[in-house]
Amino acid sequence: MSRDRTPLALGLILAAIVAAGPFLPPWLLFILTLAIARGLVALGLMLLLRAGLVSFGQALYYCIGAYTAGALGIRLGVSDVLLQALAGAGVAALTAWILGFLLARYRGIFFGLLSLALSMILYGLIVKNEALGSTDGLNVLPSTLFGVRPHEGWVRYTVLVAAAGVAVIAALLVHRYLRTPLGRLAPAIKDNEIRVEYMGASARHAIHVKYVIAATLAGIGGALAATTVGHIDPEMAYWTTSGEFIFVAILAGTGSVIAPFLGALIFGAIHTVAYDLSPNTWQMSLGAALLVLIVFLPDGVWSLFARRKAA
């Protein structure tokens, strides 16, 4: 049996970010942090995809995480990155636990569209709510870490390191979860749910758990994105945002917990370059990239690594 290299790889990635961060330009720190935030959402989507479910509504929890972080700063003056991420995770998890009783009953297109509908309801609610800044959104307090406000030039680096730390812990936990009996049920549910039931397991319960974990990760991602960008708006719950997360998850593949972060980084790079070259038609470049990917790497970018390992 081959040794599990994922924890070591995650540790090395974290060390590299901590070591290289101070030498990187602020715009790159920004892209990296945002990639981590998106990667967390995609990591959750990966859990659902492994069970054969596509959520078109992860932006719901991304937005909940972001607004929780924003509200915590504005209403209670809490600007700590980690506390905001924790609160974002908690509110997202609670919401998903409640909605999960409904969603875990559905499969296929019904699951996808119901999740989409729920995120659009949140979008509608925020747009109509003046206290939440309506379509303009809200500005988020400058970040602190453990009660300390980093020096002006070090804010981006501090947030990046905090985000990377949180992401590595999350990835390790998900990695362990995938090796538990409950985690192993995902591909079985995707292949043959009736058999899962006839073996004495509840597919609905397994999906409910995965849905809550996915939402928790999206909530953390949203909170980190809020503090990185410094601004939140209802677009974070819009269906195109959910679409971006699916893009990242498909781009990445479901082979490893590292894949979603790699996918998010590639997405960030394509997005940045495409926007730079043609601000009005960047979506076209993104679409073309996805098309190429589906044709040549149907199992995602991670399949390149998996193939090399198998060879």
Partner 1 sequence: MAAILDAKGLHKNFGAVTAASDINAAIERDSVVGLIGTNGAGKTTFINMITGYLKPDRGRIHYEGRDITELAPRDITRLGICRSFQIPQLYASLTAFENMMVGVGVVLRNAGLGGFLSRGRPLVPGHDLPAEEAAARILERFGLAEYRDKNAQVLPGGVRKLLDIALTMVAKPRILLLDEPTSGVSAEEKFAIMEMIMKAVRAEGATVLFVEHDMEVVSRFAERVLAFYDGRIIADGPPEVVLNDPEVKRFVVGGELHRIDEAQGRARA
Residue 231's beta-bridge partner residues? 139
Note whether 64 and 132 are within 8 A (CB).
no
In whole angstroms, the minimum distance from the beta carbon of 50 to partner 1 comes to 11
In whole angstroms, the minimum distance from the beta carbon of 190 to partner 1 comes to 7
CA atoms within 13 A on the CB side of 198: 4
Residue 148's beta-bridge partner residues? 145
In whole angstroms, the minimum distance from the beta carbon of 200 to partner 1 comes to 4
Element (H, E) at 152: none
Closer to partner 1 at the Cβ: 149 or 184?
184
d(Cα 234, Cα 60) in Å, to the nearest integer? 10
In whole angstroms, the minimum distance from the beta carbon of 186 to partner 1 comes to 10
Closer to partner 1 at the Cβ: 127 or 201?
201
Output the CA–CA distances (angstroms, integers) from residue 40 to 34, 165, 237, 263, 295, in the order listed.
Answer: 10, 12, 16, 11, 26
Closer to partner 1 at the Cβ: 194 or 295?
194
In whole angstroms, the minimum distance from the beta carbon of 189 to partner 1 comes to 9
Closer to partner 1 at the Cβ: 107 or 231?
107
Closer to partner 1 at the Cβ: 201 or 290?
201
| Burial class of residue 215, CB neighbours in 10 A (0-12, 13-18, 19+) | buried
d(Cα 255, Cα 31) in Å, to the nearest integer? 24
Closer to partner 1 at the Cβ: 156 or 204?
204
Nearest 5°: CA angle at 84, between 271 and 34? 10
Residue 80's beta-bridge partner residues? 144
In whole angstroms, the minimum distance from the beta carbon of 35 to partner 1 comes to 27
In whole angstroms, the minimum distance from the beta carbon of 206 to partner 1 comes to 9
Closer to partner 1 at the Cβ: 25 or 200?
200
Note whether 226 and 83 are within 8 A (CB).
no
In whole angstroms, the minimum distance from the beta carbon of 143 to partner 1 comes to 31
Residue 144's beta-bridge partner residues? 80
Closer to partner 1 at the Cβ: 2 or 180?
180
Q: Which residue, 165, 191, 197, is CA-closest to 15?
A: 165
Q: Give the footprint of partner 1 on this chain (CB under 8 A).
A: 176-177, 180-182, 184-185, 187-188, 190-192, 194-202
d(Cα 208, Cα 190) in Å, to the nearest integer? 14
Measured N-to-C along each axis, helices 108-127 and 59-76 cross at an angle, to the nearest 10 degrees, of 30
| Residue tagged 């394509």 (tokens) | 270
